[in-house]
Chain A
Amino acid sequence: MIWNKHYECMEREELRKVQGERLQELVKRVYDAVPFYKMQLQKKGIEPGDIKDIEDLKKLPFTTKQDLRDNYPFGLFALPQSDIVRFHASSGTTGKPTVVGYTHNDIQMWSEVVARSLTMADVTKSDIIQVAYGYGLFTGGLGLHYGAEKVGASVIPISGGNTKKQLQLLEDFGSTVIACTPSYAAYLGESLEEEKIDPGKIKLRAGIFGAEPWTTEMRSQIEQLLGIKAFDIYGLTEIIGPGVSMECHFQRGMHIFEDHFIPEIINPETEEVLPYGELGELVFTTVTKEAMPLIRYRTRDLTRLHAETCECGRTLVRMEKCVGRSDDMLIIRGVNVFPSQVESVLLEMSETKPHYLIVVNRENNLDTLEIQVEVEEEFFSDEVKELEGLRQRIKSNISSTLGISAIIRLVEPGTIERSMGKAKRVVDNRNIQ
């Protein structure tokens, strides 16, 4: 099934025309409304009039996460607060989050792309969808929620966690579709076995999973445990949230909704645009977003694009599962974590120094985050209550900055490896590539 045949199956030439028109309009709009973009364009000697079609996209400057940080919180908004109807946020690279805003039309557009995504998994008004992504500042919960309402499915806004209740509603309400992180889906599947729930009583047939990297092995494991077909959905807060792209039944990459989000692949070092099929960093330009449009936003996700028409009939470009990052961001339980955030927490605390090691493991399909912090000699107290107090303070500062809890381990100074002056900060044992 295809939600919006007009755009999803449009001839690529025609689509490029649509993109070009929207791009022209976008550049005019942000040039007038966002001082940051005006300055960026002027630096490159570009006038809005210089952008005539989609070929001119590559003339435009890139936007990075650092730019979002420099303009925190609302500096990149193209409309006044009175036009904003919602905020979402994700982790920034340091203590400050990345904030995005939505107008009423942005929410409509977002619902549209999520509706298209859900339709790829044949979700209709005959479905009951359990949205087990977190609701709140995180885009997962509300993003799926609005899209599911748009297709007319019955939504269970249960949010994340509370596994017992999840299982109970799966059984009692007869949910047919579940949306959550893949690791949580695997965990739910295992809990189903542990709780000895009769799989015959579970009506699930499809899962919409995203917000963190997962392997094809995990896909088959989840499909087997829950008796469903598992679909991969992609998105990031800066662009809109979930629904930037989604895979169809043929699962040959995720179709990007190019009438709203124009993708490019660049060489992350030279910033040169690469042809379809080559591996590089994914870059998006949001041509329809009103509140906070982004021009050539560098996602740091590494992937490839394929433009051949899919067997499903969609002409939209397909992106492969991301194979990694061109920065040091980690995705832990669906939450973006930057080592620099941990560093800034430790720097802000008077009794710690930024000597730390992040250890990520996956135990029973759930990610665990351990942060080892060296006990500085000058702050070493020989009383357990003092050291435990220090550990608690680090723990609560870390969890309020990162948005997820971490295990804090105090270690002896000098035990964290310092190689060539630049320490190795992360040990990721999850093996998810």
Chain B
Amino acid sequence: MAPALTTDKAGPAEIADREPAAVRIENVHKSFGRPGAAQPVLDDISLEVRPGEFVCLLGASGCGKSTLLNLVAGLDRPTAGTIDVPGGRPALMFQEHALFPWLTAGRNIELALRLRGVPRPERRPEAERLLELVRLSGAYGKRVHELSGGMRQRVALARALAQDSQVLLMDEPFAALDAITRDVLHHELTRIWSETSLSVLFVTHNVREAVRLAERVVLLSSRPGRVARQWAVDIPQPRRIEDAAVADLSVEITEELRGEIRRHGQH
């Protein structure tokens, strides 16, 4: 099947008029450090994620992708601009699983349910259901250190889903996994995303991963981070990371990414 893809130059205004956004980022600036000697990290970022959309944020190191995700998660505030998440606090998954080692896998999920206000008798069955969703039915009583890296990330995904947010933010969640495990988790994530109405904002530096997963890939430039270019990925799901269409678009995006990185060598 030929890769049916469209590319368009960064233009947040083009998508703004259709539906209410799940995440709306408008003219966001972020600097770190003291006023006066502040280092700009994000420079005038505008970006929207539509409800149910899967967006990958792509960029080289230092482009502020994680910073942007922290801002959307509400863990930090922008220096200027606004971030609006109408559906309430988004769930966030990290590169490290961030599961609490003093709780079992099931209890980790139940804690998220409890903090969300789910009454006690409903927590256990809900946790079991979520574990089943990530295909870890037997893991309820397992301690975090008894699980493999891939299993930990699946429990972390279940815990994030337990928050019942409409938006799931993912900060390079599979970067520390081996290729085969990552491939399996890509499949699981796509499956769960298509079964729910989740909007996903997924940060990665892996171009193939971005093309494998996303409906839209947003390339950020580095230092300070700006939206450099966007691609709509029209390759039908289920995709494979080794699909020719995925490879073709990855080559194109990688070329662009290299160009962004080269620009820094010239200064």
Chains A and B are bound partners = no
